[in-house]
Amino acid sequence: MKKIGIIICGRYQDCGGGKCFRAIRERVGGFSQYPVDEQVEVVGYSYCGGCPGGNIEYVPEEMKKSGAEVIHLATGLVVGYPPCPWIRQFKEFIETQYGLPVVIGTHPIPLKYYETHNKLSFWKKINMEEIASDLMKEDKKTMGAYN
Ligand code: SF4
């Protein structure tokens, strides 16, 4: 059993979470690291609080109290327009302050977003391969299924 918390981007705070929960079931995207025979329980689901992400300071603590062992920063932080400029800082802060590993990514990047972002010079400079490798190595067919 792996207990996780999910933090989404405030720009998508009304999101119902359908793609994230589907990706947990299908073990794709940021959840591909969990074996299919290991149960994954979402013990917390919240958003960053809106720019510049004030809730990042507090919500991981509640998730940790609820048993979270890993925090996932949602894929919306990676492929929003623009992507979240504080992804690296959020990851470092949560890992340092709360001692919880942070995975960048939840559901696969929808293919139409991936194709657009790949044309954007500022996105390439962020080096998403380094910080969101599970998302970036996803096969295109799976990305297409999340359009
Ligand atoms: S861009 Fe970053 S700080 Fe701004 S709402 Fe999204 S996750 Fe939060």
pLDDT of residue 125: 86
Range 18-29 average pLDDT? 98
Q: Across all residues in the chain, what is the average pLDDT?
A: 96
| Position 138 confidence tier, pLDDT thresholds 50, 70, 90 | very high
Report the nearest atom of ligand 1 relative to the CA of 87.
2
pLDDT of residue 126: 87
Ligand 1 binding pocket (C-beta < 6 A) is 9-11, 48, 50-53, 77, 80, 84, 86
In single-letter form, the type of residue at position 74 comes to A
Annotate 105-129 with DSSP letters as a single string: -SSPPPHHHHHHHTT-HHHHHH-HH
Report the nearest atom of ligand 1 relative to the CA of 49.
8
**Residue 24: how many CA atoms within 13 Å on its side-chain side?**
17
pLDDT of residue 81: 83
Domains with residue ranges and CATH for the chain: 2-145 (3.40.50)
pTM: 0.96
Residue 7 DSSP SS3: strand
Cα 50 to ligand 1 centre (Å): 5
